[in-house]
Copies of this chain bind each other. A is one copy, B any other.
């Protein structure tokens, strides 16, 4: 296995299995002089942490981050920042009994085919627990973006078939998204989402949805043609999150059925310069940011862990069998995808800012 690092100028390498001793990340490329403490990271980890509401797995993890290098006297040194989070609530028992029986929709079979084994203690690196490292790293990226007045924010657009069928403005999202279990910008819709999620769960089933993530105040000029277009990099970053099966930018798939005159954003002169009237492009033209908000949406498949019986194959006996999953699982993963997607986007944006010379790679606040 390789592929556990992300980024070119800001590079994170994450590690840790879901049922091993610890998970974490090393972040390389953070400029020196950025104010940072464990609280900054803890805040993001707490948003990702499960067990807070009934739409999340009951696995309880305090997820206390320790920063073991790269920060001194409340500031980054410019050296790699290593962050460690111990695994605490590691209950491998329900996993052991299903050893050798790949779970449909999970990575058990492909890991077996690729590595010759499955880490039967749990999903290993294919578990959602892997995202702890992403979020810890992203928390630092968010800190850097903050200092550039760039905001990254996500919310659940659809869950369990219930859609937020109206335009919401940013203020609503910011106000409401942390106020309900579904991280939906409308609390009433959130409640209907939650009910639909719990209903499916009663049936032993799971549900999916759509998560949107926005970046505001991103400077124009990020993104490198031809292969490192900003939208291409966003697609990769978001599609690398487990359970995500589709990514779209701006109007996305909707634009496929429209005409050029309906999709093109016409330019007008505004106070801040040339600004498109609309933002069907999702803030990206020709792979380069326009200055308008970046808008990306992800299709989140239903959590593959369901308690309904499913057909699988017993790999030892090589015969078909049934499997019923009794572990602790998220009935709907959308609200927990929200902070992960935000932090992936934050990591990417800082990387692109560094590649485009918009952030000084050596020293926060610039080199004299």
Contacts and interface: CB of A to CB of B under 8 A. Distances in A.
A140 interface: no
Contact of A310 (B20, B124, B261): B261
Given A32-B116, A79-B225, A268-B311, 19 more contacts: A2-B29, A2-B361, A3-B225, A3-B227, A4-B227, A6-B227, A20-B68, A20-B69, A24-B82, A77-B115, A77-B124, A110-B287, A114-B363, A116-B363, A246-B248, A254-B299, A260-B308, A269-B319, A355-B361
A291 B109 CA distance: 11
Interface string A131-162: 00000000000000000000000000010010
Given A84-B84, A117-B33, A320-B269, A302 B255 contact: yes
Most chain B CB atoms below 10 A, which of A14, A77, A282, A319: A77
Nearest to A253: B299
Interface string A218-241: 001101111111011111111110
B266 A311 contact: yes
A84 to B, nearest CB: 7
A305 interface: yes
Interface stretch (A52-60, A167-175, A201-209): A201-209
A2 B72 contact: no
Contacts of A126: 225, 286-287
Most chain B CB atoms below 10 A, which of A81, A124, A227, A255: A227
A333 to B, nearest CB: 11
Contact of A258 (B72, B208, B231, B313): B208
Nearest to A325: B260
Interface of A: 1-6, 8-11, 13-17, 20-24, 26, 28-30, 32-33, 66, 68-70, 72, 75, 77-82, 84, 102, 104-107, 109-111, 113-117, 119, 121, 124-126, 130, 158, 161, 200, 205-210, 220-221, 223-229, 231-240, 242, 245-269, 274, 276-277, 281-282, 285-291, 299-306, 308, 310-313, 315, 318-320, 354-357, 360-363, 367
A207 B259 contact: yes
Contacts of A234: 239
